[in-house]
Amino acid sequence: MPVEAIAIDLQQERKEILKRYRKLLSSAKPYLQENDSKLIKQAFMMSMDAHKDMRRKSGEPYIYHPIAVAQICVEEIGLGGTSIICALLHDVVEDTEITLEQIEEKFGKKVAKIIDGLTKISGVFEHGSSQQAENFRKMLLTLSDDIRVILIKLADRLHNMRTLGSMARDKQLKISSETFYLYAPLAHRLGLHAIKSELEDLCLKYTEPEVYKDIAKKLKETKTSREKFIQNFIKPIDKGLQDLGFKHLIKGRPKSIYSIYNKLKKNNVPFDEIYDLFAVRVILDVPKEQEKGACWAVYSMVTDHYKPNPERLKDWISTPKSNGYESLHTTVMSSGKKGRWVEVQIRTTRMDEIAEKGFAAHWKYKGNDTRTNKAFESWLSQVREALDSSDKTTSAVELVDSIRSTLYNDEIFVYTPKGKLIVLKDGATALDFAFEIHTEVGARCIGAKVNNRLVPLGYKLKTGDMIECMTSNKQKPSEDWLNFVATTKAKSRIKDYIKEANKQHIVIGRDMVEHRLKILGINLLSLEVTNQLRAYFNVKDANDLFYRFGKGYIQLDELKKWKLDREAHERKQAAKTIQEPLTNTKNLVKELKKLHGDRKDADAILIGEDMDKLDYTLAKCCNPIAGDDVFGFVTINEGIKIHRTSCSNAPELLSRHGDRVLKAVWASKVQMSFTAHLIVRGTDRMGLMNDITRITSQELQVNIQNLSIEVREGIFEGKIALIVNNTEHLDQLIQKLEAVNGMVEIIRES
């Protein structure tokens, strides 16, 4: 390429960079304070210089990314100057020579601390953990001090998802699964509804591209009729609002692609039969003190025009969600020949801003709504509890799982005898409530009165319950309490009490095990030996192991049996020649190539970056067949397993153990047999079974492994297990079966 052409390209890129930077400053203007513009310019220049020789996978200059993240922080979350500076610099410490000390010197401690929270950890992690989990854990450690760390990280993740198309397929799967597993729930908890919905849609786009395209296509095809329907639906509502004298805005929109996908999956119905595809949002411009009355007045007017479904009324104005969300939801039946369920959301301008921008918008109104602040603090305290109670025996994955369990849970609202509102996660018990009141109240709790009725500790609470705790100085927490508490706070406090009480048994147990092992000829109770014992006796950690010996739950004689089993296992392993640890996936792949490279059917799937022929098994949880989009996963004891990317276990495997995931591609020339499971539904008639078996066995020469059909009131539903060659073969069969008279639906079972 001529030098002149390169110069022109670089010049154009520089113009584009400046254009994007100016747009950022223009968007940020309403949020900036004195001196912010000067610091933002310095951050931009530092980022430009640091990333000057770097490009993204798409080939674009790297600086596009930090500018885009800063733009999302401003436009879609509503953050100010400090966050813009941090967004522009969020990758410089990790990817360039610039240090945290230099950033602190130029921009101050606050910016340096946020950048530190945003910087990924590098290094070696414990077995069973993953880098993603460690990164997430570090971000959460900074959450207590500054929530902007998480908000900027979400902006970073959103831009990465928007530009994921330029990444390799296996990277798309890993990043999408991690996003779905951690970041979408986090956006939900922080009230960032628009970002949460987009992240979920983008995850679906890359994990199940055909499903995503199909729903998007159907939404596009029905757009004109849908818009006409919405316009007719809102006419009487618009007139009613004018009659009431409200300044308002009405928006009609379809549900997100992911929420439609969820309904299709959950209800097992075709697209045409999803009735609540439509949502109408009524936004009122009224003063804060008039909000509640105005929303209920609009609800009354809407239900005068359309019949409501009383079971679908949700009042998040009287009791907002802990992420700050406030709105009044009802589902009503539209009028006309073909009635459809339509969700109507009624809220104010303030509520709408909080719903879209979450706690970043909530800061604008803080002081006005202490109840929502307390609800969020309640969740934040659960995060702190999980972080504070984690110790060296808690892996990052376990910790993240514990915190993740608090992200998507619905809340319940209960009361103390004095009328104080307490927000708990759905499924919380009387004992959870006791620990929420005070640690000592929880530890001494012997029962509770719910609505003046005596209930046990494990009683599950419901919204509106009034609870009074009963305590005794003789009561002590026990391990079985962990079986029926739901909140992180209660679990952490119970574990703390048990740990303290069990320390003596742990010390005794360790001495007993060490002494017996010496008698058996094992002089050192090393970490390796401890881990082997822990796995053998199926206990979660070393302390639990020694505690069980100390309490006598495991007898010392069992150690002799363990030693014999270990020696037998070592002899077996020596015969196999695989010496490298499983944690090193590359070494495992090399060894598998040596052992199994000559398998006749080994080239049915090509595995790894080098597309090697390796030994594998097909995962029974999703039954992949040739042609399916798949990935390989290195298991602890069963070698490489092949899963469909749409497998229900895929998000967890890809996000929690990304380091054990291998690229896998079907080789096109190999003819193999796979089991596929179909669910068939339709109207019953004479000769139906004969038609199904004739098309399957005779016309297409497909072997039926199993067939069961049930008929109820003229409707049949059945399951067929078939032996097919690949997805093309299966699709051909499905097309033929769909043509059978009376057949309504055929679904491939996961």
CATH at 261: 3.30.460.10
Residue 499 has a pLDDT of 76
Top-confidence range, 90-99, 162-171, 281-290: 281-290
Residue type, 412: I
pLDDT digits (tens, 9 = 90+) for 526-558: 777 888 888 888 887 788 888 888 888 888 888
Cβ pair 215, 263 in contact under 8 A: no
Q: What DSSP string describes 141-199?
A: HHHTT-THHHHHHHHHHHHHHHTGGGS-HHHHHHHHHHIIIIIHHHHHHTT-HHHHHHH
Q: What DSSP string describes 707-735?
A: EEEEEETTEEEEEEEEEESSHHHHHHHHH
Is 5 inside a domain boundary?
Answer: no
Task: Tell me what percent of the residues of the chain surpass a pLDDT of 90.
Answer: 12
If one counts the domains in the chain, the total is 6
Cβ pair 232, 226 in contact under 8 A: no
Tell whether 125 and 46 lie within a shared domain: yes
Is 284 inside a domain boundary?
Answer: yes
Banded pLDDT at 297 (limits 50, 70, 90): very high
CATH at 133: 1.10.3210.10
Minimum mean pLDDT range among 191-195, 396-400, 449-453, 594-598: 594-598
Residue 141 has a pLDDT of 60
pLDDT digits (tens, 9 = 90+) for 464-490: 889 999 988 888 888 889 888 888 788
Q: What DSSP string describes 201-260?
A: HHHHHHHSHHHHHHHHHHHHHTHHHHHHHHHHHHHHHHHHHHHHT--EEEEEEEPPHHHH
Residue 620 has a pLDDT of 84
Tell whether 436 and 511 lie within a shared domain: no
Q: pLDDT at residue 109 above 80?
A: yes
Residue 400 has a pLDDT of 60
pLDDT digits (tens, 9 = 90+) for 121-156: 333 333 334 555 555 565 566 555 577 888 888 899
Tell whether 381 and 344 lie within a shared domain: no
Question: How many beta carbons lie within 10 A of that of residue 301, not counting itself?
Answer: 19
Is 564 inside a domain boundary?
Answer: no
Q: pLDDT at residue 181 above 90?
A: no
**Among 115, 123, 74, which Cα is nearest to 96's?**
115
Tell whether 642 and 602 lie within a shared domain: yes
CATH at 689: 3.30.70.260
Q: Which member of 9, 49, 94, 567 is catalytic?
A: 94
In the predicted model, what is the mean pLDDT of the chain?
79
179 exposure class (CB count in 10 Å sphere: 0-12, 13-18, 19+): buried
Q: pLDDT at residue 389 above 60?
A: no
pLDDT digits (tens, 9 = 90+) for 635-651: 876 778 889 888 888 88
Residue with the bigger pLDDT between 105 and 595: it is: 105
Longest distance between any two alpha carbons in the chain, whole Å: 91
Residue 23 has a pLDDT of 92
Tell whether 458 and 509 lie within a shared domain: no
**Is residue 94 flagged as an active site residue?**
yes
pLDDT digits (tens, 9 = 90+) for 654-670: 877 777 788 888 775 44
Question: How many beta carbons lie within 10 A of that of residue 4, not counting itself?
Answer: 8
Q: pLDDT at residue 712 above 80?
A: no
Is 424 inside a domain boundary?
Answer: yes
pLDDT digits (tens, 9 = 90+) for 10-23: 788 888 999 999 99
Distance CA 155, CA 10 (A): 27
Q: pLDDT at residue 48 above 80?
A: yes
Banded pLDDT at 346 (limits 50, 70, 90): very high
Distance CA 51, CA 61 (A): 8
Domain closes at, from 215, 243, 269: 215
Tell whether 325 and 435 lie within a shared domain: no
Is 573 inside a domain boundary?
Answer: no
Tell whether 400 and 469 lie within a shared domain: yes
Phi and psi for 46 in degrees, rounded to 5? Answer: -65, -45
Residue with the bigger pLDDT between 449 and 381: it is: 449
Residue 668 has a pLDDT of 56
Cβ pair 470, 412 in contact under 8 A: no
Tell whether 660 and 688 lie within a shared domain: no
Domain closes at, from 666, 687, 705: 666
Residue 525 has a pLDDT of 75
Tell whether 193 and 232 lie within a shared domain: no
Residue with the bigger pLDDT between 70 and 737: it is: 70
Residue 33 has a pLDDT of 80
Cβ pair 330, 282 in contact under 8 A: no
Task: Please give the structure tokens belonging to residue 611.
Answer: 């597309």
Banded pLDDT at 710 (limits 50, 70, 90): confident
Q: pLDDT at residue 378 above 90?
A: no
**Among 563, 553, 550, 552, which Cα is nearest to 519's?**
563
Is 350 inside a domain boundary?
Answer: yes
What DSSP element (H or E) covers 448? Answer: strand 445-450
Is 571 inside a domain boundary?
Answer: no
Residue 600 has a pLDDT of 44
Residue 123 has a pLDDT of 33
Supply the range of the domain harboring residue 329: 220-365
Q: Which member of 16, 60, 95, 541 is catalytic?
A: 95
Minimum mean pLDDT range among 182-196, 372-386, 593-607, 718-732: 593-607
Residue 707 has a pLDDT of 79
**Among 145, 183, 148, 157, which Cα is nearest to 387's?**
145
Helix, coil or strand: residue 261: helix
Tell whether 57 and 122 lie within a shared domain: yes
Tell whether 207 and 225 lie within a shared domain: no
Is 572 inside a domain boundary?
Answer: no
Residue 137 has a pLDDT of 60
Task: Tell me how far the alpha carbon of residue 44 is from its chain's centroid.
Answer: 33
Mean pLDDT for 607-615 is 62
Banded pLDDT at 404 (limits 50, 70, 90): low
Residue with the bigger pLDDT between 726 and 67: it is: 67
Tell whether 257 and 184 lie within a shared domain: no
CATH at 408: 3.10.20.30
Q: pLDDT at residue 199 above 90?
A: yes
